[in-house]
Structure 1
Amino acid sequence: MTGSGTDIERPADTRSAILTAAESCFARLGIAGTTMEDVARAASSSRATVYRYFADRDALVTESVVRRAHANMDSAREFIARRPTVAERIVEGICEDVRRGRRDPMVHRLVSPGEMVLAARLLTESGRAVELTYELWQPILADAQAAGTIRADLDIRLLCEWISELEMHYIARGSTDDAEDLDHIRAQLRTYLLPALLR
């Protein structure tokens, strides 16, 4: 194949463009109101091209959330690593995940009351939310376990499932006073979560 390189369609670019177009449709039409035809039109592409990369709208939604989570993964790890104790890493790390989720329009839209059934199916039942949580937290929790600061008998994957469910709950409920609500979350985590984890 010949060409300058600018006229050759690259799969990664096409996939990214379709995801970006889908997110714009979700913002304008709502997740439930968006069709694959809408996405194709927004991406200036054909439906066949969209279907070549994504099986259906559910796949678009899931991959959009995954892409956004991966974009924030490094900064989330750095934020957690700056906390001085494992207790603060857990509490402040969860609060930071909640804060970011509430400020991310896609995540906030997905966990809104009107979309919660869809969110449960795509992220919880599929296991994608737990996998993303595990990807972020497993190294942190495994290090704490090795250092003896959290219980040795904890199943880290099961703990990540619990953290994932907590974060989705906290993001979904939102708050008109974000700072006050995050303080309330901190109090709950310190009172009920930490005693179950720390040695």
Structure 2
Amino acid sequence: MSSKTATRDRILAVAPELLRRFTLSKFSMEDVARAAGIARQTVYKHFSTRDDLLITLFVDEMLENHAPKMAEVVSLPPSEENLLDVFMTELTLARAYPLFDEVLDPGMAPKMAELVFRSGRMAAAREQVWIPVLERYRDHGVLRTGLDLAATVRWISYQEYWLLTHPTVLCDDDQVLRAFVRDFVVAALVVPA
């Protein structure tokens, strides 16, 4: 492993603990540099901004942890119920993210929404996870034809984000939430019965 890769990995290793300790609103690149034992300029050589570092943490979590854990439910035969399971599994994994409380604090939700939905890297990672699922469901006649899949991924991401940042506004019971997701989110995507 090169020293450049080792330094980047060290930054990514210390950042989550700092987020837990300082919360998102007080998390700084200076804190990251100090915790990693490097100069602040070195942090900026790897991550152009604090937001760039945060997006990297989120994308890495999604691709390295969430996607593999979704593999079992994603591999189930395409059906409306199994598409619901894919959506609900991703919500469950997001809630279990070790930094969930820090990054999805309702006070920070507007800032995080801007960060997440304006990031091309985040959009590409979401598409990497979801487009193969949607293509498979479309090819099996479950998903409506003619949907712009990239736009569909963005819409799914928004629905999940809203449900994660407002967990009790719609309901405070997972079975009721599942029914809402089935009747409105999944129903908007699938071929009408």
With normalisation by structure 1, the TM-score equals 0.85
1:89-145: per-residue Cα shift (whole Å, max 9, x none)? 321111111111111132442121121122122111224443332211111111221
2:175 maps to which residue?
183
Note if contact 2:78-2:142 (Cα within 8 Å) is conserved in structure 1. no
2:9 maps to which residue?
16
Gaps of 5+ in 1: 1-7
Note if contact 2:55-2:119 (Cα within 8 Å) is conserved in structure 1. no
RMSD (Å), alpha carbons = 2.0
Equivalence map 1:39-58=2 (5 Å)? 39-58=32-51
1:77 maps to which residue?
71
State how far apart, in whole Å, the 2-side matches of 1:54 and 1:9 are: 17
Paired positions, count: 188
1:140-185: per-residue Cα shift (whole Å, max 9, x none)? 111221222221111111111111001111111235xx9x632122
State how far apart, in whole Å, the 2-side matches of 1:129 and 1:167 are: 14
1:171 maps to which residue?
164
State how far apart, in whole Å, the 1-side matches of 2:25 and 2:52 are: 13
| Equivalent residue letter for 1:184 | V
User: Structure 1 residues 85 and 181 mapped into 2: Cα distance closer, same or farther (>3 Å)?
Assistant: farther
Note if contact 1:111-1:171 (Cα within 8 Å) is conserved in structure 2. yes
1:102 aligns with 2:92: no
Note if contact 1:122-1:128 (Cα within 8 Å) is conserved in structure 2. no
Larger Rg: 1
State how far apart, in whole Å, the 2-side matches of 1:36 and 1:91 are: 39
- Which residue of 112, 115, 125 maps to 1:119? 112
Equivalence map 1:56-67=2 (5 Å)? 56-67=49-60
Shift of 1:187: 0.4
Q: Match of 1:76, SS?
A: helix
User: Structure 1 residues 9 and 103 mapped into 2: Cα distance closer, same or farther (>3 Å)?
Assistant: same
With normalisation by structure 2, the TM-score equals 0.87
Q: Match of 1:113, SS?
A: coil
Note if contact 1:77-1:136 (Cα within 8 Å) is conserved in structure 2. no
2:141 maps to which residue?
148
- Which residue of 183, 187, 197 maps to 2:189? 197
